[in-house]
Amino acid sequence: MILRAGLIASLMLTLAAPAMAECARPEELAMVRGEHAFTQTRTLKGVARPLVSSGTLEAQADGVVWKVTKPIEIVTRIGPKGVTQSIDGGPEEAVGAAGANNPFFSETGLLDLLRGDLSKLDTRYQVARGTRAKPEGWKLALTPKSASVTPYITSIAIEGCMRVESVAVAQANGDMMRIDLKPGQTRAAQ
Amino acid sequence: MKLNRGLAAALACWLWLAACCGVVGWRFLQGLPVDTDIQSMLPSGGGDAVERAAISSASQAAAGRTAVLVSAADEQTVQAAASDLEADLAATGIFSPDRQDVEATGHWLFANRNELLCQSDPSKFTADEARRTARRALADVYSVSGPVTGDLLRQDPFLLTIRLAECLSPVGAAQPGGTTRLVSGRIATSAFRLDAQASVIKAFDGWKAEWAPKGVTAARAGAVFHADAAAASATADMTLIGTLGTIGVVLLFFAAYRTIRSAVQAMVLVAIGLAAGLGATLALFETVHVLVFVFAAMLVGIVSDYAVHALASGPATNWAGTRERIDLVGRPITVSMATAVIGFGSLALFGVPLFQQVALLSGVGIATAWAFVLWVLVPIDKRPKNADFLRAWWTKLEDIRERVKIPAVVAWAGVAVLVGVSIYGAMKLSYLDDVRAFQPRPADLVAEEEQVRSAGYAGSGVTFLLSVGDRAQEARQREEAALAQAPGAVRLLATTRFDPSLQRRAANASALRANLYQPLLAEHAANVGLDPVEAAAPPVSVSADPPSWMADLSGEVDGQHYLIAPLLDPAGWTGPTTQGVRLVDPALRYSDAFRTYREHALMALAVAAICAIGATLLVYRRLAALSILVPPLLACAVALLAPPALGFPLTFFSFAAALVLLGIGIDYAAFQWEAGLQHDRWTAVAVFIDALTTLLSMGLLILSSTYPVRSFGLTVTIGIAAALCLSHIPRLVAMRVGTTGKT
């Protein structure tokens, strides 16, 4: 659950687009709405092969729709009232305890990010900034500040230039999750 | 020799008092031994022992549940405030957050995952359900929101642990999002102990003082908050009644005896009675109910009566010798003490801890005060320097009293009113046995509790499913059979959903093997990147201790095993038809118990009256002396019939008051009988002062905010007024007997 929280918080940066033509400062990314293609790679400790899924990520005014198309069809809706999930085109069902027992609302600032407010990022994470040589771009290394998150998430690495291109979450138990994003149809938020 | 006996008796009195004070001091040093649980009013013996134990366990578990819904303007503030509150409550040492239970429950579910099902009936875990389970597991692995780890996936490829945690969800509650947080947990000790309430309330108030200025608000849910409010109400009652009673009695004594010393002596006597009674009660009971202290206010009335008569014998006899004064007041005081102790003692026959405590505290308190009056107060009440002035004042009071002549027409009119009111009351007779109406819950707490529930907090149901069997396995099987009958909308917390019978475990395991593992494991293992051979190996056996909340929901009494399943949402279910299983509503049981007590109270009154007849005949050895019992018995009748006429339903406490009234009424009547025989004037004044002091103590219970206490006070007030008026009957009879004897 905490892993999901950290990951989602980081991925919110993917909803941002550069304000300038060259590599933008991450803090200056403005929120955009639209669809992005993603590839998620989970490397679980003790599991022989990486678990790869792909689909699209859609930013909406009041939340995010995370659609996995391979290897299984999953639609996950993340909004202010919680999280719902539909599997194989089935009915939407609340995730967990009514989808509300979900710390990523409380501990990652998801709703702030959804509103395009990135100013509070450093209130939740220690942020280390760096540059990427090839291709040219920037890197952010996030370390959770909250004691309730640190037992689960060690660090989050975000890379990008004009936009967020990848997010990698390192879990305390040794599992890893990496999400690579490709541009889709985007539009700037009004 | 006589002097030595008197000194020895006085010394024994002081030693007894010292021992009682020692017990009180020792017990209070160990922590405040006061509880506020209304269940203390319930019988501790008789009836169904299993049900009684189950009600006790279920109520304890339900009362311990505590939650606070924290709200703030922004998420960071609310998160910090909630964390701080949880830490503050945990620091009390008696609060354990639900998070700990969730963790322990998770370990238990993981260890037992292959013998548990979300379905209450294994036959409902069909091949379709199994396929859905496998797809959910696959979705958890590949979706962004799946809480999967490598360790869990290898040992639990279908993620049954997660599914079970979702569908059984035993403890804690939905965590509201946004700018609200729920801090919930359990209080390990009784929420009705004042010391437990004090530490939890102190932690909450301290937290509130820190966070309220930052815009943080809180809604509370839990018996500990209600109990604290009830205790505060009882304390306010006690303070009001005690203060008014004490001030009134002091002023009354000063007005009667014109010395501060007499008032001080009376108050010291009351304090001695209370200390001795409390010491004896604390020696036999682990805690004393707070209502006992409210009832103990009645000691002021009874004990000060003894002081009234003992002190009145001073000016009345011009401070004659100790022996002469004891001869004068000793017999009526002793009859009064004996009948009062019998009256209070009969309260103990109901088997209700609260009334056993009242009986013990009052009985010991009255007997101790009686002993101090005879062997300490009278001997030290020597002729004062201003004796002539005091005697003249007392004579003046006797003159005033003697001048008060009630015209026959007024007396008959009074009788007519009493009869009329009694007849009307008999026609309007109504009773209140519902314990829920005894102590209305504060509106603000009820509203806050609703707010917490709206946020998804399940709390703990008071009504529960009780499953009983000769063996633990039988009780489990019966609960499982009953759960199969429950409609889907019913929500309950049943132990067997987490720890089923051996039979059900085997059936669950078989359904999982047949529909999930055998047909779907190989394909699923491949889909989630596991080695099919490794995944097909038998799961490593893991042991886990049952979560502590589970232990609270089972027990054994007299070789009978029982399980409790609190109903979180009864959804109108009237209960199963399974043998050995039934729904139990404790509030209904309590109300039934009080109705039964009330129905038997008249019999207790009759028994007390018969005992009083025996005691009266034993002491006075003549039939005419039975006129002593006429005023108290008539006063009891009026006191029980007048409240319904005034619109106040009778409770068991009204009848308890009648028992006490019987003792006090005999007190007045016995003194009047003695006065009639000896043709004295001082007794009429003393009895009038008696009645006023009783009204200033027990009568003031009418001001209590708790209906049972109020109904007690109402019965006593009406009864004392009637007993005072009617106490002239034995005086007249005694005068006639005395005259006949002389002629």
Residue closest to B666 by CA, chosen among B637, B715, B620, B628: B628
**pLDDT of A81:** 67
Q: What whole-number percentage of chain A has pLDDT above 70?
A: 64
Average predicted confidence (pLDDT) for chain B: 85
The CA distance from B506 to B307, in Å, is 75
CA count, 13 A, side-chain hemisphere, B63: 23
User: Each residue of B451-482: pLDDT tens digit?
Assistant: 888 877 777 777 899 999 999 999 999 999 99
pLDDT at B137 > cutoff 90: yes
Shortest Cα distance, chain B CAs vs residue A20, angstroms: 30
User: Each residue of B344-354: pLDDT tens digit?
Assistant: 787 777 677 77
* Interchain proximity B139–A87, CB inside 8 Å: yes
Q: Does B179 touch chain A (CB under 8 A)?
A: no
* Domain layout of chain A by residue ranges: 2-188
**Alpha helix (H) residue ranges in A14-160:** 103-107, 110-114, 121-124
* B663-683: average pLDDT: 84
When CB atoms are compared, the residue of A72, A82, A175 closest to B138 is A72
**pLDDT of A28:** 67
Chain B residue with CA closest to A65: the answer is B144
The CA distance from B200 to B578, in Å, is 41
Q: Does B175 touch chain A (CB under 8 A)?
A: yes
Q: Exposure of B66 by Cβ count < 10 A (0-12 exposed, 13-18 middle, 19+ buried)? A: buried
**pLDDT of A13:** 44
Please tell me the least confidently modeled range out of B8-17, B85-94, B448-457: B448-457
Cβ-Cβ contacts under 8 Å between A and B: the total is: 121
**pLDDT of B280:** 94
pLDDT at B636 > cutoff 90: yes
Please tell me the least confidently modeled range out of A36-45, A105-114, A145-154: A105-114
**Residue B289 C-alpha from the chain's centroid:** 6
Backbone angles phi, psi at B616, to 5 degrees: -65, -45
Mutation to test the A interface, candidates B98, B142, B163, most A Cβ within 10 Å: B142
The kind and range of the H/E element at B492 are strand B491-492
* Residue A11 banded pLDDT, cuts 50, 70, 90: very low
Residue closest to B486 by CA, chosen among B39, B18, B120: B120
Chain A neighbors of B174, CB-CB under 8 A: 97-98, 100-101
Chain A neighbors of B454, CB-CB under 8 A: none
* Residue B423 banded pLDDT, cuts 50, 70, 90: very high
pLDDT at B240 > cutoff 50: yes
**pLDDT of B739:** 61
Chain B, 76-115: which have a CB under 8 Å from a chain A CB?
76, 78-79, 83
pLDDT at B210 > cutoff 90: yes
Chain B residue with CA closest to A99: the answer is B174
3-state secondary structure (DSSP) of residue A42 = strand
* Residue B519 banded pLDDT, cuts 50, 70, 90: very high
User: Each residue of B158-170: pLDDT tens digit?
Assistant: 999 989 988 887 5
* B19-26: average pLDDT: 93
Q: What whole-number percentage of chain B has pLDDT above 90?
A: 31
**pLDDT of A9:** 46
**Residue B67 C-alpha from the chain's centroid:** 23
* Residue A18 banded pLDDT, cuts 50, 70, 90: very low
DSSP string, B134-169: HHHHHHHHHSTT----HHHHHH-TT-HHHHHHHHH-
CA count, 13 A, side-chain hemisphere, A91: 2
* Interchain proximity B150–A174, CB inside 8 Å: yes
DSSP string, B582-617: EEE-HHHHHHHHHHHHHHHHHHHHHHHHHHHHHHHH
When CB atoms are compared, the residue of A1, A109, A179 closest to B75 is A109
Chain B neighbors of A11, CB-CB under 8 A: 144
CA separation, residue A31 to residues A127, A186, A187, B237, B449 (Å): 20, 10, 9, 62, 40
Chain A neighbors of B146, CB-CB under 8 A: 4
**pLDDT of B356:** 85
pLDDT at B379 > cutoff 80: yes
pLDDT at A111 > cutoff 50: no
Strands (E), A97-152: 125-132, 137-144
**pLDDT of B612:** 81
Q: What whole-number percentage of chain A has pLDDT above 90?
A: 12
Instruction: Tell me the two tokens of residue B62.
Output: 């339900």
Higher pLDDT, B452 or B507: B507
Q: Does B661 touch chain A (CB under 8 A)?
A: no
Mutation to test the A interface, candidates B138, B145, B523, B540, most A Cβ within 10 Å: B145
Chain B neighbors of A46, CB-CB under 8 A: 150-151, 154
User: Each residue of B564-608: pLDDT tens digit?
Assistant: 998 888 888 888 998 999 999 888 887 887 788 787 777 778 877
Chain B neighbors of A8, CB-CB under 8 A: 144
- Asked if the peptide bond before residue B546 counts as cis, ω within 30 degrees of 0, the response is no
* Interchain proximity A111–B154, CB inside 8 Å: no
When CB atoms are compared, the residue of A74, A98, A148 closest to B143 is A74
When CB atoms are compared, the residue of B169, B174, B529 closest to A49 is B529
CATH superfamily of A2-188: Lipoprotein localisation LolA/LolB/LppX (2.50.20.10)
* Residue B3 banded pLDDT, cuts 50, 70, 90: low
**pLDDT of B115:** 94
**pLDDT of A7:** 46
When CB atoms are compared, the residue of A80, A87, A179 closest to B135 is A87
Q: Does B530 touch chain A (CB under 8 A)?
A: yes
* B338-361: average pLDDT: 79
Q: Does B531 touch chain A (CB under 8 A)?
A: yes
Chain B neighbors of A109, CB-CB under 8 A: 75
* A14-39: average pLDDT: 63
Instruction: Let me know: does A45 contact A173? Beta carbons within 8 Å.
Output: yes
* Interchain proximity A76–B142, CB inside 8 Å: no
Average predicted confidence (pLDDT) for chain A: 72
